[in-house]
Amino acid sequence: MPVLLLHLGTIENMVQNQVYALPARQVIISGTGTFEVSQDGSTWVALIMTSGQAGPIVIPFIRATAAGSILVAKAD
């Protein structure tokens, strides 16, 4: 499956287990659902969100682990 690029400020309805590339800068993640992040695209760890937000983070890859997850990456 190809890696899809996320854009700043765009609301994304994420496909479960699809790998997405975050913008190449520090971002704040907002959303609903459960997510995992990776530095290399192969080793994944859970993204901890508080009140629907996580960050600031600088991590290249993200994926949703649940169907119906929604995400927005905002500039920090």
- Give the pLDDT confidence of 9-65 residue by residue, as tens digits: 999 999 999 999 999 999 999 999 999 999 999 999 999 999 899 989 999 999 999
Residue-range domain boundaries for the chain: 4-75
- Find out whether 64 and 16 touch, Cβ atoms under 8 Å: yes
Q: Right CATH number for 4-75 from 3.30.160, 1.10.3470, 1.10.1740, 2.60.120?
A: 2.60.120
The residue behind tokens 């600088």 is: 58
pTM comes to 0.91
φ, ψ (nearest 5 deg) of residue 30: -125, 145
What pLDDT does 1 receive?
62
Residue 21 tokens read as: 């590339």
Cβ–Cβ contacts within 10 Å for residue 29, how many?
22
Residue 76 above 90 pLDDT?
no
What pLDDT does 6 receive?
94
What pLDDT does 3 receive?
86
